[in-house]
Amino acid sequence: MKKPLIFTAVLVTVSAMVLGFASMVGSKTPMMGVPVQEQSLWILMDQARASHDQLSVIQTKGLIAWQKDLLILDVREPAEFQAGHISGAVNLPRGLLEFQIAGLAQDTSKPILVYCKEGYRGALSGRTLKKLGYTQVSNLVGGWDAWSRYEQQFAEPAPRPFWE
């Protein structure tokens, strides 16, 4: 008596899966199982990253050393900036970028390096700068977190006291 009940349950489950999959095939959802809002965020981030150069920490260090008139723009919040930042950086939070960038860079050909904590706000800020007409914009991939990890990994150890 249990076999027909189990067979029916399996048949209903498989049918539901097939019908669910069939309804998703025609949708414009690029990532199955991921909410559309989250997909839109990642699509937006991909577009933002594609709009300007994305640099590693090593590339960024080279840019800073080579490009003397580089504006290093930290788009994190002031408290984040105070906790640590790249030497020579100017703090301009992302929410104020459009309103205050002209005061820092009137020349739209001025090279600008943007960074944030992890690279997301930096990518979006870089895209905004490009839309505002700035032509030489780069973003530090991984942001301050990547920079500080690199610095910790390759920092020279403190000298030992002579009495040890």
pLDDT value of residue 98:
95
> Where is pLDDT greater, at 54 or 11?
54
Residue 88 pLDDT > 90? yes
Distances (CA, A) of 66 to 58, 60, 69, 150: 12, 10, 9, 19
Architecture, CATH, for domain 36-154: 3-Layer(aba) Sandwich (3.40)
Mean pLDDT of all residues in the chain?
A: 80
pLDDT value of residue 36:
63
The stretch 69-89 carries a mean pLDDT of: 96
Cα–Cα distance for residue pair 133/135, rounded to 1 Å: 6
pLDDT for 14-54, tens place per residue?
A: 555 544 544 444 444 455 666 666 667 667 667 767 667 78
> Where is pLDDT greater, at 12 or 75?
75
> Where is pLDDT greater, at 13 or 98?
98
Sheet hosting strand 90-91, strand order edge to edge: 53-55, 137-140, 112-115, 71-74, 90-91
Residue 87 pLDDT > 60? yes
pLDDT for 109-153, tens place per residue?
A: 999 999 999 988 999 999 999 999 999 999 999 999 999 999 887
Contact by Cβ (8 Å): 53, 138: yes
Quote helix, strand, coil % in the chain, to nearest 5.
55, 10, 35
Of 149, 132, 160, the C-alpha closest to 57 is 149
Cα–Cα distance for residue pair 138/125, rounded to 1 Å: 10
Amino acid at residue number 2: K
pLDDT for 143-159, tens place per residue?
A: 999 999 998 877 655 55
Cα–Cα distance for residue pair 115/113, rounded to 1 Å: 7
H or E, element range at 60: helix 57-66
pLDDT value of residue 119:
86
Residue 7 pLDDT > 90? no
pLDDT value of residue 29:
46
Which residue ranges make up each domain of the chain? 36-154
